[in-house]
Chains A and B, each alone.
Chain A
Amino acid sequence: MRSTDMVAIQGFGYLGQALSSAEIFAVLFGGAMRYGIDRFVLSPGHYVISLYAAAAETGLLDPAELESYGHDGSVLEAIGSERTPLGDLVCGSLGQGLSGAVGFALAAQLAGEDRDTFAFLSDGEMQEGQVWEAAMFAGYRRLDRLIVVIDANNSQVDGPVTSVTTIEPLAEKWRSFGWHVSEVDGHDVEALWQAFAAGRGGGAPLVVIARTEILGRLNAIPPTVDGHFIKIDSELKAAILKELGAALA
């Protein structure tokens, strides 16, 4: 709901990403990750709207600051950057986040530190070869304190991922690179909790493939909108908030 408010103020923004990843961020920032101890990498910076919303909900960010989302001069830029005041690494150029997370995991391993590294990735960026360079290396180095969650919402700029190329079978790909794989309904909070809790350690990193829908499961948003970068008016905002409110009630 906070993301809807942020997008509504400017009339456009990355609301689709927020809706597809809301439950993932809720679980991560609701306790699956020890924020401030574990490290958090946000690879697709377009999802930073979810980070802002989760941070506001968990006291890491003043909710009043959300109003500045995407405004000139605001540090809450619409695409994450070095100015983003949250997370340990927030990328903007797709495909680089997992490598950065591998760097964090290696550093923690070298120092013998008790901390995990969480990396949020999107399915579209699996088309970048660097993701697989990093996946191969992490599997080989047995970085079992590295946890990846993929928002598999089948969405990229030009439309559904399946209309551009194929990244499937995702689970088999990651498994063959030496990872523990957990594939869940990414809108099912309980399933996400269990995925992050299970399958850890044993010399293999963990990837949670969260199957989601770009607009969440909202009926209020017409299926014809561009899910990657949504424009909304006050009428649509009201309808979205009403539906979200009813779902949370």
Chain B
Amino acid sequence: MREPPYQTVLKPYGAALVDVARQRPEIICLGADLTRQTETDLFRDTIPDRFINIGMAEANMLSIAGGLARAGHTVFVNTFGVFSTRRCFDQIAMSVAYPNLNVKIVGFMPGLSSPGGPSHQAIEDVALMRALPNVTVVEPADAIETTQVVAATAQHPGPVYLRLKRGEIPLIFDDDHRLDLGKAQILVGGGTADVCIVASGMMIPAALAAARTLAEHGVLATVVNVPVIKPFDAATVTAAARHCRLVISAENHTVVGGLGSAVAEAMAEAGVAAPLRRIGIADTFAEAGSREYLFAKYGLNTQSIVDAVWRGLAINRPVPAAPIIETSPGAYAPV
């Protein structure tokens, strides 16, 4: 793994989708009036005959995707996560998930990564998509995984919900890192430790930073990356959790129904007795604001994880201050 401050890559999804579509003529790219915002302007400009703008009609888009997929296409459906999951849940269930079609729903602006307030913040998309049979739910953590996940998603038979941050994406993993749609990955530790931190997506940098701060203060942490939230790799997670006194889940999502719930279900079924603390949005709608502000206010930053470990392990020393994660500033507008 690389060390912070992380370099960033601009629009890795948009570039990867064009690369994969060039290899796979069956791929169709659908959008709903958010072409540049979903990084599909590159697709529109390079493969225009397979790019279709449906307009602001997400329900129509999901059912059209179902028709195209029945005719043999692999369809990437692009819009913000709030619109592709909340707005057309029945269309996903009946037009895509139930018939188990090759429709890949790409939902941008996960959790509190959008400054647009609750109308634009997908805080329960993972819970919704995880509840649907046949749907694979994936949230990559960095640019290396984002690039790989596009090819893996195109190749995977059946519906996929791909939860993506857009724009500048950090480079966390090394070039030889391999994303597997069936596996969680131990990033740090893995043996006997004080705490097991299970995280996904944008919470991975915070989980890694928290592990470093904890180590500096004598607390040993395992960090597990869960890019595939469904099907959930319970074996890897419970094997790591079993050797720890405390388990922390960390997700940029409500604590109801997402990664934390998946961890809780897996631990309970495997008989892992350690207490679980869920870091995430505490069953509340948020507000407009910058990512840094919202992650701090709603308890999603590195300090939130360190605090939860300190309380969970009942450590009788002052809580260490976690460093602010630095990323290189860029010009890409986040809205």
Contacts and interface: CB of A to CB of B under 8 A. Distances in A.
Interface of A: 41, 82, 88-89, 91-93, 96, 99-108, 110-111, 129-130, 133-134, 136-137
B84 to A, nearest CB: 15
Nearest to A93: B94
7 contacts: A93-B90, A96-B95, A99-B59, A99-B67, A107-B68, A110-B28, A134-B57
B72 A103 contact: no
Interface string B70-89: 11110000000000000000
A99 B91 CA distance: 10
Given A82-B98, A96-B91, A107 B72 contact: yes
A104 B64 CA distance: 8
- Most B CB within 10 A of own CB, among A93, A99, A111: A99
B54 interface: yes
Q: 7 closest A-B pairs (Cβ-Cβ)?
A: A103-B67, A99-B63, A107-B71, A133-B60, A133-B57, A100-B67, A103-B64
Contact of B60 (A88, A105, A111, A137): A137
B48 interface: no
B57 to A, nearest CB: 4
B57 A96 contact: no
A104 B65 CA distance: 9
Contact of B70 (A100, A105, A130, A134): A100
A123 to B, nearest CB: 19
Contacts of A82: 98-99
B269 interface: no
Nearest to A113: B71
A136 B59 CA distance: 13
Contacts of A105: 67
A110 B60 contact: no
Nearest to B52: A106
A130 B63 contact: yes
B174 interface: no
Given A103-B64, A130-B91, A88 B59 contact: no
B59 A133 contact: yes
Nearest to B60: A133
Interface string B35-79: 000000000000001101011010111111111111111000000
A61 to B, nearest CB: 21
A137 B94 contact: no
A133 B55 CA distance: 9
Nearest to B73: A107
Contacts of B52: 106
A113 to B, nearest CB: 9
A130 B59 contact: yes
Contact of A134 (B49, B64, B69, B94): B64
A103 B90 contact: no
B49 A103 contact: no
